[in-house]
Amino acid sequence: MGLSVPAAPTAVGGVRGFWRQFRRHRLGVAGLAAVVLLGLVAVFAPLLAPYDPFSTSRNAFAPPGSPGHILGTDHLGRDVLSGVIWGARVSLIVGLAAAFTATVIGIAIGAVSGYFGGWVDELLMRITELFQIIPRFVLALIVVAFFGSGLTNLILVIGILSWPQTARLVRSQFLRHRSLPYVDGARVVGMRAPRIIFSEILPNVMAPVIVVASLDIAQAILLEASLGFFGLGDPNLRSWGGMLNTAQGFVQRAWWMSVFPGIAISLAVLGFNLVGDGLNEATDPRLREGS
Q: Write out the residues near another protein by the rule CB under 8 A.
A: 54-56, 58, 60, 75-78, 145, 231, 235-236, 246, 248-250, 252-253
Minimum CB–partner distance for residue 231 and another protein (Å): 6
Minimum CB–partner distance for residue 89 and another protein (Å): 18
Minimum CB–partner distance for residue 144 and another protein (Å): 12
Q: CA separation (Å) from 193 to 10, 35, 148, 188, 288?
A: 21, 37, 40, 12, 33
**C-beta neighbour count of 146 within 10 angstroms:** 9
Minimum CB–partner distance for residue 72 and another protein (Å): 15
In the complex with another protein, which residue's Cβ is closer, 256 or 272?
Answer: 256
In the complex with another protein, which residue's Cβ is closer, 103 or 149?
Answer: 149
For the chain, how long is the longest CA-to-CA vector? 81
CA 28/CA 44 separation, integer angstroms: 24
In the complex with another protein, which residue's Cβ is closer, 60 or 191?
Answer: 60
Minimum CB–partner distance for residue 205 and another protein (Å): 43
In the complex with another protein, which residue's Cβ is closer, 132 or 236?
Answer: 236
In the complex with another protein, which residue's Cβ is closer, 177 or 238?
Answer: 238
CA 45/CA 24 separation, integer angstroms: 32
